Amino acid sequence: MNDNTSPVALILGGTGRTGSLLADTLAGRGITPRTAARSGADVRFDWDDPATHSGALAGVDRLYLVTPTLRLSYAAQVAAFLDLAEAAGVRHVTYLSVYNADQAPAGVDIAAVEADLASRPGITHAVLRSAWVMQNFADDHLPVIDRVLTAPSAGGREAFVDAADIAAVAAETLLAPEAHTGVTYALTGPQALTFREVTDTIAAVSGRPVSYHDIDQEAWITDLLTAGIPADFAVMMRWLTGAIIDGNGATPSDDIEKVTGRPSTAFGEFARRNAHIWAAS
């Protein structure tokens, strides 16, 4: 524990889209957040450098688990870290997973980490299965370039979720682990939208014309690989976009409201909040 004897939560991905928001929330509600990342966080943490793991866990009793993002096989690496976490005194883990994690293709270790957590009697856990985050459209993940958003979807729908809502749910699970033990939450926005509906909303709030180009999935993946993304990440994107194309994208859930007491954020609200980004781009 820290000098104030308040609980300490280690937040992996602590400089990321959910981690930084989670840290701010916990700091105001009686838990000491300790952000962890390769740089810019309270402590340095690198999945590929085990020497950074023990120090990050010192005095920690709860953990926000974000697994390596640019690879597919990491279950053994995460299991070793969880062994270390248990030995260090961690008694609860909230895991940021992916919507439909149980349908991930062979070789993608998302569901394997969920199963590992469920097999550990010494710790409680909560699983947050997140839909695509709305922030993808406001940063360099799915950028609007020359007033065009390009991504494969074949007209499929996704219930995009605000990262702030994910952080809000994560905070509740870390503040009161006993109330969320063994629960899996589907975190989505209130509407399942097509990409064209997304661009229509962006255009309306930014005052600039924005169109949607529904590119062939394999052509899009090839472009990503040419741009230098790792092959493992391309596999993930093929699966995630394939779910939307096949009509299996995230569908609206009320889990965010159940946990936080307020409705999930609509894309229109998120877009108005970020209109300046698209207006200036």
71 band by pLDDT with thresholds 50, 70 and 90: confident
pLDDT at 106: 85
4 band by pLDDT with thresholds 50, 70 and 90: low
pLDDT at 69: 80
pLDDT for 70 beyond 90: no
Provide DSSP, 124-164: EEEEEEE--BGGGGTSSSS-EETTEEE---TT--B--B-HH
pLDDT, the chain, mean: 95
The Cα 13–Cα 40 span in angstroms is 10
Model confidence pLDDT, tens digit, residues 196-246: 999 999 999 999 999 999 999 999 999 999 999 999 989 999 999 999 999
Phi, psi values for residue 139, rounded to 5°: -130, -155
Q: H or E element: which one contains 96?
A: strand 92-98
pLDDT at 116: 98
**Encoded tokens for 66:** 């974000």
What mean pLDDT comes out for the span 265-269?
A: 98
82: left (phi > 0), else alpha (psi -120 to 50), else beta? alpha
Q: 3-state DSSP call for residue 208?
A: coil
* Higher per-residue confidence, 187 vs 3: 187
Provide DSSP, 229-247: --HHHHHHHHHHHHHHHTT
The Cα 119–Cα 246 span in angstroms is 32
Q: Which residue has the tokens 């406001």?
A: 138
Model confidence pLDDT, tens digit, residues 120-176: 999 999 999 999 999 999 998 898 999 999 999 999 999 999 999 999 999 999 999
Q: How many angstroms separate the Cα of 101 from the Cα of each of 15, 237, 250? A: 24, 14, 11
Q: Which amino acid is it at 124?
A: T
What mean pLDDT comes out for the span 255-260?
A: 98
pLDDT at 190: 98
280 band by pLDDT with thresholds 50, 70 and 90: confident
93: closest CA among 119, 55, 126? 126
**Encoded tokens for 144:** 């609007």
The Cα 193–Cα 214 span in angstroms is 14
* Cβ–Cβ < 8 Å for 152, 118: no
Looking at residue 72, the DSSP 8-state letter turns out to be S
1 band by pLDDT with thresholds 50, 70 and 90: very low
Percent of the chain with pLDDT over 70: 98
Q: Is 262 exposed, middle or buried (CB count within 10 Å of its CB: 0-12, 13-18, 19+)?
A: exposed
What mean pLDDT comes out for the span 185-195?
A: 98
Strand partners, 161: 133
Helices first, then strands: H and E counts in the chain: 11, 10
Model confidence pLDDT, tens digit, residues 14-31: 999 999 999 999 999 999
The Cα 39–Cα 11 span in angstroms is 13
Q: How far apart are the first and last CA of the chain?
A: 45
In angstroms, how far is CA 120 from the centroid of its own chain? Answer: 23
